[in-house]
Structure 1
């Protein structure tokens, strides 16, 4: 069975929109594209290398797929691009999407059921980048095995958020963490059952 591994860049107030550049995602007149670009350091490079070391295929929502498909095929000389261009790209979309990128496979029908079927198959794990709506669906149906949350020391007050009203109530176990020299916290979690409540007294 495949594992589903989610990797998300977040501000301190939970915004995940447009971390990489001004033109990455301008929907809703988002003015802060590129908020994560200037925080990168060697610690983050090393952490990213660990997160992407094992064999995997990509599992992407429509919007993230379109961003990646417009960029990575033109950057095959980059190690990440070289890998992305050769592995399978599974696309979960409820609206039409043009599968222009070699190795792209559309998951048809109900997204949760399609992902469950894919997850049950043999093969490399599935790495999810961005894809906020898809991640919400995966969380709702308890399909996420690992979450790598990269939390940047930025607050924006506006933009698409990963955790919105209706997020599945669930407890998580911290399995690793590291802090970059620029203050980015990379925290990796695994599901840890139902939420437990108590009293502080």
Structure 2
């Protein structure tokens, strides 16, 4: 049986939300200036070399508009290569 890893990116003050689709969240991307190469490396190590993704429909829609166009990087390459499983009640409209 495969392992399921749940990864949540959370700031020290408890913010886990980021809106990349034009939403009204006032703190979008506010943690970006504080990200470090070490933090990126820790996320990549936690994901492992090859992985699949289980995404909610809204997250999939946001990611499908971003990651395929993102510049090559370990994170982008891993996400783009991953098999995506999407929890949705509208499967006929997945691109």
Shorter-chain TM-score range: 0.7 to 0.9
Measure, in 1, the Cα distance between the counterparts of 2:12 and 2:81. 34
Measure, in 1, the Cα distance between the counterparts of 2:29 and 2:42. 20
The alignment's TM-score, normalised by the length of structure 1, stands at 0.41
TM-align CA RMSD: 2.2
After superposition, give the CA deviation of every residue in 1:30-59 in whole Å (9 maximum; x if it has no partner). Answer: 211112211111321221231122421011
Higher relative contact order (CA 8 A, sep 6+): 1
The alignment's TM-score, normalised by the length of structure 2, stands at 0.78
Measure, in 2, the Cα distance between the counterparts of 1:45 and 1:76. 15
Gaps of 5+ in 1: 101-201
For the 8 Å contact 1:76–1:85, the answer to whether it is kept is no
Correspondence 1:120-139 to 2 at 5 A: none
In structure 1, the residue matched to 2:11 is 11
For the 8 Å contact 2:50–2:78, the answer to whether it is kept is no
In structure 2, the residue matched to 1:71 is 66
After superposition, give the CA deviation of every residue in 1:76-106 in whole Å (9 maximum; x if it has no partner). Answer: 6233222322221000124x36322xxxxxx
Gaps of 5+ in 2: none
When residues 76 and 38 of structure 1 are mapped into structure 2, their CA distance, relative to the original with a 3 A threshold, is closer
Question: Across the two proteins, how many residue pairs are aligned to each other?
Answer: 94
After superposition, give the CA deviation of every residue in 1:150-170 in whole Å (9 maximum; x if it has no partner). Answer: xxxxxxxxxxxxxxxxxxxxx
Task: Determine helix, strand or coil for the equivalent of 2:7.
Answer: strand
